[in-house]
Structure 1
Amino acid sequence: MRDLDRSSNPGSKTAADETALNQQLLSWYDRNARTMPWRVSPADRARGQRPDPYRVWLSEVMLQQTTVAAVTDYFQRFTQRWPSVLDLAAAEDAQVMAEWAGLGYYARARNLLKCARVVAQDLEGDFPDSYDALLKLPGIGPYTAAAVASIAFDRRETVLDGNVERVMSRLHDIHDPLPAVKPLLKDHAGLLTPELRPGDYAQAVMDLGATICTPKNPACGICPWRAPCLARVAGTAPELPKKTPKQPKPTRLGLTYLARSADGAWLLERRPDKGLLGGMLGWPGSEWNEAPVPRAPFEADWQDLGGEVRHTFTHFHLILQVKLAELPAGYNLTPGQELLSRHAFRPQDLPTVMRKAFDLWAGSDFNPGQD
C-alpha cells in the first residue's frame, strides 16, 4: 500500500486523525452493520466466530457489478446446493451455469468453477490467507483478493469498491473524475484502514456508502463522518464522485430461433465457453451486429412472433427479432445443440436475454396455453 505524503496534500489528516476516524466508523458499524447471509456480524466476530472464506469469496464474486438485493437469493441457493468449496468444485459445469442464469456477467461463473477446482485440487480445500496468494487464483483480481484477505482473514488490505470510492471522494472533496482518480482514492482509503479489525472496517466503509453516503441525497446529518467531511462543508457532496462521460453504447441487431417439437421439447444450444454468455444454454441464432445474416438451425417456415426483445449489455444495446417453427420429427442434433423435453426445460436456467425471448413466445398467439 503506497503512503501519501500528508504534508503535500491540502486537507490531509494526521495519523491521530485517521485513528479517530476509523474508530468512529467502527463504533457506528457495531451498531448499524447490515445483516447479510455471507457476513459474520461484528458482535459474533468479537466472540471469536470467523468468517468462512468460501462464503466471503463467493459473495464477492457474485457482487461484482451486481447489487446486494439481486445477489442474496442466488447466494442462498448456491450455498444450500454447494455448502463448501469442495462441493462446488465437484459440481457439473452445466448445473452451475444454470444456477447462475439471470445474474449476468457469465465469465464470473466459469471462473468460479475454475477457482473452486484449483482450491480443491491444489490447496486441499483451503483458501490462501494473503492478498498475493489469492491474486494467483483464477478469476480473482485485485479487488476480490483484497476483500477476501481483509474480510475473511483480517489482513490489512485496502478494499476499494464503488461505495468506498464515493465515500473517499466526498470525505476529501476530490473533484478529479473517475476512473483516472482511482489510485488517489485508494491511497486515501489505505491510510484510513486500521491494523485492528481491518475486515470489519472494510465492511463498515462499504455499508456507509450503501446506506448513508448514497449516490443521491446522502444522509449527511446522521453520518458518523459528518464533521470531517470536506465535501459536506463545501456543499459539493451530492455531485461527487465525478466521472468521465461514457461514450454512447451502439445498438446491435440479431435473430433468434425458437424451435419446439410436437411433444413440447425445445431445441437449444450451448454457447462457446469464450465470449458473451459463454457456457450458457440459449436459443440458436444469428451473429449480433449491425446487419445480421439469418442463420436458422434448419429449413422451415419460420414465423415472426410479432415483437422484439430488447436487452442491454455492458458495451451495447441489443434488439432481437424472434422466430418460431416446429422442430421436424427425427431431427438430428448438431454439435453444441441440446433437446430438452417439456419437463426438463426450465426458463429460469436461461440467461436473461434468452428468457426474454421465451417470455415473448409465452405471451404470443403462438402459445394458445394448451400446456
Structure 2
Amino acid sequence: MPHQPWAISPLQQALLRWYQHQGRDLPWRHSRDAYAIWVSEIMLQQTQVQTVIPYYQRWLEHFPTISSLAAADQDQVLKQWQGLGYYARARNLHHAARIVEADHGGKFPEQFEQVIALPGIGRTTAGGILSAAFNQPWPILDGNVKRVLARLLALDRPPKQAEAYLWQWSEQLLPHGQARDFNQALMDLGATRCTPRQPLCHDCPWQAHCRAYAENKHHQIPIKMKTNPIPHKYIGVAVIWNDAGQLLIDRRPAAGLLGGLWEFPGGKIEPGETVQDCIVREVTEELGIAVDVGEHLIDIDHAYSHFKVTLQVYHCRHRQGEPQPLGCDAVRWVSLEELDQYAFPKANEQIIAALRSQAHPIDLPPTDLPV
C-alpha cells in the first residue's frame, strides 16, 4: 500500500458527511438496476452530466431492458445515441447487451471478471457499476477522481504517469460496506468542488487534508502532460441530388471513427487538390459514380478529441453510374424529409439544417437543380 501520511478514517467520514448533504440528485442514483447504471456509466464517459440526463431518460424509454437493447438493430441504437458523440460507446453497449443476453440470460453479471470482459467496459466503469448497483468494494479512477487524488497527495507528476499509485489510493480510501456512496461522493467532489479551474477549496470537505492546498499548489496540480499540436483536416463533402430530387447518403464502416453512422459522401482534400476535384475523386472511389459539382452550400468547423476538421460542402448532380458501397457499408437514396430516420454525425446534422433552411427546390426538374 502507498505511504499513509494521515489517518484514512477522517477522510472517509468527512467525504460521506458532505455527500449526504451536498451530493447531486441524479436520475441513475435512484436506481439499483445494473443495466440502468451501466447505461449511465457509459454515457458519462467523456460527456457532461447535464448533457447526458435527457439522453439517458430517452434511452431507457426506448430500450428499457438489456433484452430490448440486444434485440434492436444498430441503426436504431445509433439513432438514439445521435448527438452524444464517441459513437464507439453505443456500438460497444449494443454488442455487450447481446453478449449478456446470450451468455448471462439477459441479467447483468455480478462478477468483476465477467463485467470487465464486456466490450466498452474498463476497470473504472466496472467498478462504478458494481459499486453503485451492488455496493461491491471496487475502486474507481475516472478523470474527476484522478484530479481529486492528485491534489490531495500533491502529486509531483501527471496523473497518467502515476496511475498504479492512484489506483492504490482509490482502493485504500474505500470504506468497508460503503463503496456505493463513497465512489459517487468522490466523483461529485471532483465535478462540483475540486474542479479543473478555480477549485472551490473553501467549500471542500478535504481542505484540511489536502496537500496541494496546504502548499498553495492547487492551481498547478494536476500537472499536465505535454501535448502535440492538434492536426486540422480539410474535407470535401458532396450533397448529391438525383433526377427524382433525392439525396445520396452512405453508411460508414462499423469499425473506426463514427462507425455505423450515415453521412454525406466525401473525403480529405489532398495537397494541391481543389475541393471540387476532391469531391469528384472521393465520390468515384467510394461510390463508383460520376457527379457534376455545383454551388457551395456551407463550410463547417468541427473538433474531435485528437483533430479538427473543416467540411467544405457542395451541391452535386448525379451524372452516371449506379452507387455502390465501395468505401462504405451501404448507400441509399433518400428524400430530405427521410433524413430524420437516420443517425448522422453532429457535423452532418448542420448540413441537413442548411439544406432545410435553404428551402432547396428538390421538386423541380433536374435542370433546376444546382449545377
TM-score scaled by structure 2?
0.87
Which of the numbers 52, 60, 70 marks the counterpart of 2:41?
60
Mapping of 1:101-140 within 5 angstroms?
101-140=82-121
Q: Secondary structure at the match of 2:291?
A: coil
Amino acid at match of 1:340: V
C-alpha root-mean-square deviation of aligned residues, in Å?
Answer: 2.4
Distance in 2, Cα, partners of 1:159 & 1:106:
23
Match of 2:71 among 90, 93, 99: 90
Q: Whose helix fraction is larger, Structure 1's or Structure 2's?
A: 2
Is 1:29 equivalent to 2:19 in the alignment? yes
1:355 aligned partner, one-letter code = E
Correspondence for 1:249: 230
Matched, 1:325 2:320: no
2:294 paired with 1:308: no
Q: Where does the alignment leave 5 or more consecutive residues of structure 1 unmatched?
A: 7-11, 41-49
Runs of 4 or more consecutive aligned structure 1 residues displaced over 6 Å after TM superposition: 368-371
Distance 1:279 1:290, change over 3 A: farther
Which amino acid letter does the alignment assign opposite residue 295 of structure 1?
A: E
Q: Is the Cα contact below 8 Å between 1:135 and 1:141 reproduced in 2?
A: yes
Q: Which residue of 1 aligns with 2:130?
A: 149
Distance 1:189 1:93 in 2: 36
Q: CA separation in 1, counterparts of 2:216 and 2:232?
A: 38
Q: Which residue, 334, 338, 341 being the options, matches 2:324?
A: 334
Tell whether the 8 Å contact from 1:146 to 1:157 is kept in structure 2 after alignment: yes
Question: Is residue 346 of structure 1 aligned with residue 340 of structure 2?
Answer: yes
Most deviating of 278-287 and 109-118: 278-287
- Of the three residues 288, 291, 295, the one matched with 2:282 is 295
Residue 299 of structure 2 aligns to which amino acid in structure 1?
A: E
Q: Which amino acid aligns with 1:62?
A: M
Of 172, 181, 201 in structure 1, the residue corresponding to residue 162 of structure 2 is: 181
Task: Decide whether aligned partners of structure 1 residues 267 and 216 sit closer, same or farther in structure 2, where only a CA change above 3 A counts.
Answer: same
Cross-structure match for 1:4: 2
* Mapped contact 2:292–2:318 kept (Cα < 8 A): no
Give the structure-1-normalised TM-score. 0.87
Q: Within 1, Cα distance between the matches of 2:341 and 2:308?
A: 22
CA gap 1:344/1:306 in 2 versus in 1, 3 angstroms: closer
Provide the C-alpha distance between the structure 1 equivalents of 2:20 and 2:342, rounded to a whole number of angstroms: 38
One-letter identity of the residue aligned with 2:71: A
The residue identity in structure 1 corresponding to 2:11 is: L
After TM superposition, the structure 1 = structure 2 runs for residues 44-83 of structure 1, keeping only pairs within 5 Å, are: 51-83=32-64
Matches of 1:142 and 1:38, distance apart in 2: 20
Q: Single out whichever of 339-348 and 229-238 deviates more from structure 2.
A: 339-348
Q: How far apart in 1 are the matches of 2:29 and 2:32?
A: 7
Task: Give the conservation status (yes or no) of the 8 Å contact 1:252–1:290.
Answer: no
Residue 158 of structure 1, CA deviation: 1.1
**Is the 8 Å Cα contact of residues 347 and 355 (structure 1) preserved in structure 2?**
no
344-353 vs 100-109, which deviates more? 344-353
Q: Does 1:275 align with 2:256?
A: yes
Is the Cα contact below 8 Å between 2:250 and 2:263 reproduced in 1? Answer: yes
Q: Residue 156 of structure 1 contacts residue 198 of structure 1 at CA under 8 Å; is this kept in 2?
A: yes
Deviations 1:202-246 (A, max 9, x none): 000100111111111111111111211111111111221111121
Cα deviation, residue 287, structure 1: 4.2
- Which amino acid in 2 is paired with 1:367? H
Quote the Cα distance in structure 1 between the aligned partners of 2:259 and 2:37.
25
Taking a change above 3 Å as real, the CA distance of residues 368 and 343 of structure 1, as seen in their structure-2 partners, is closer
Tell me by how many angstroms 1:339 deviates: 2.0
User: Are the equivalent residues in 2 in contact too, given 1:254–1:289 (CA < 8 A)?
Assistant: no
Which residue number corresponds to residue 369 of structure 2? none
Unaligned runs of 5+ in 2: 365-371
Residues 271-310 of structure 1 show CA distances to partners (whole Å, capped at 9, x for unaligned) of 1111111111111112476677432253232124254221
Of 352, 357, 360, the residue aligned with 1:367 is 360
SS at match of 1:238: coil
CA distance, structure 1, for counterparts of residue 37 and residue 119 of structure 2: 16
3-state SS of 1:301 partner: strand
